Amino acid sequence: MRNIVIVAIAILLGATWFFTQSKDAPPDQITQTQAPSVTIPELGTDAKIGETFYNAKCAACHGKNGAGSDKGPPFIHKIYEPNHHGDESFQRAAKMGVKSHHWNFGDMPPVAGITRAEVAKIATYIRAIQAANGI
């Protein structure tokens, strides 16, 4: 009788272990689509010029101060830290657009009427805000 109880307990523990193990892992998805709050640093001359271009051409999707919007991702986010998305990725994005791969906003279309020099200033602006927000 005692053996049966021990076996039953063992089976119960085993089953508990099995079901907790096989529980679905949390979806590996980026759920934060907007930066909660953004600290704005003192901007240098280039960053200020970049801000103007950014507000004209990028903010509609990437949000004010890079905080994101319902049309595009925030730049104040770990995945856009400089060593993961270098400044050249800004040039490429503006020129050729971006196929949706990190998020679910859809593709980014190429941005018309912007030069490499302007995009470089936008990158300077974004890097300044990122740095002030620990990215």
Interface region with ligand HEC, contact rule CB under 6 A, candidates 11-19, 40-48, 52-60, 127-135 = 52-60
Select from 71, 78, 95, 116 the one that contacts ligand HEC (CB under 6 A).
Answer: 71
- Per-residue tokens: 64: 């004010």
Q: Which region, left, alpha or beta, applies to residue 118 given φ > 0 means left and ψ of -120 to 50 means alpha?
A: alpha
Give the whole-angstrom CA distance, residue 39 versus residue 129.
7
Residue pair 70/64 in contact (Cβ under 8 Å)? The answer is no
**Interface with ligand HEC, residue 125, by CB under 6 A:** no
- Per-residue tokens: 20: 């907790």
Select from 38, 58, 67, 129 the one that contacts ligand HEC (CB under 6 A).
Answer: 58
**Interface with ligand HEC, residue 68, by CB under 6 A:** no
Residue type, 51: E
- Contact set with ligand HEC (CB under 6 A): 57-58, 60-62, 71-73, 85, 89-90, 93-94, 98, 100-103, 105-106, 108-109, 111, 114, 119, 122
